[in-house]
A = this chain, B = another copy of it.
Amino acid sequence: MAKENIETKALEYCMDMLGGKWKPIILYHVSKGTNRFNKLFNEIEGINRQMLSKQLKSLERSGILDRTLYGEIPPRVEYTLTPLGKSLLPVVQAMTKWGQKQTKEKVEVVEVPQNQQLPLF
């Protein structure tokens, strides 16, 4: 032992933040400028209010989103990315890019040659 894996901890930490079905999607929409509850609710297909509320609260607790309540009638709430949330966008973007590539290549299944050693990590 003794070799406590730093990368593993980092991955776990990240998955704690981004885990679940909705969080990356919410982050994406907020990053695009959608910041009000019902707007998010309408744009995110398949979610219901409770889920949206729960996930928003979770993201808020994690320090990824800020929630601003304006004391108006009718009430207005705006969600914005914190600096921490913004730092997460490259990750979301990497996931998006990968997903787009795959869903596209479903059609044009090209023979992918065996890649050589990737020097990642």
Q: Is the CB of B13 within 8 A of A103?
A: yes
Interface residues of A in 1-49 (CB under 8 A from B): 5-15, 18-21, 24-25, 28, 31-32, 43-45
Interface of A is mostly: helix
A70 at the interface (CB under 8 A from B): no
Q: Is the CB of B31 within 8 A of A118?
A: yes
Q: Is the CB of B93 within 8 A of A121?
A: yes
Q: What 10 pairs between A and B have smallest CB-CB spacing?
A: A10-B99, A14-B99, A94-B94, A14-B95, A13-B99, A83-B112, A10-B100, A91-B94, A89-B120, A10-B96
Give the B-binding residues of A (Cβ under 8 A): 5-15, 18-21, 24-25, 28, 31-32, 43-45, 83-84, 86-103, 112, 114-115, 118, 120-121
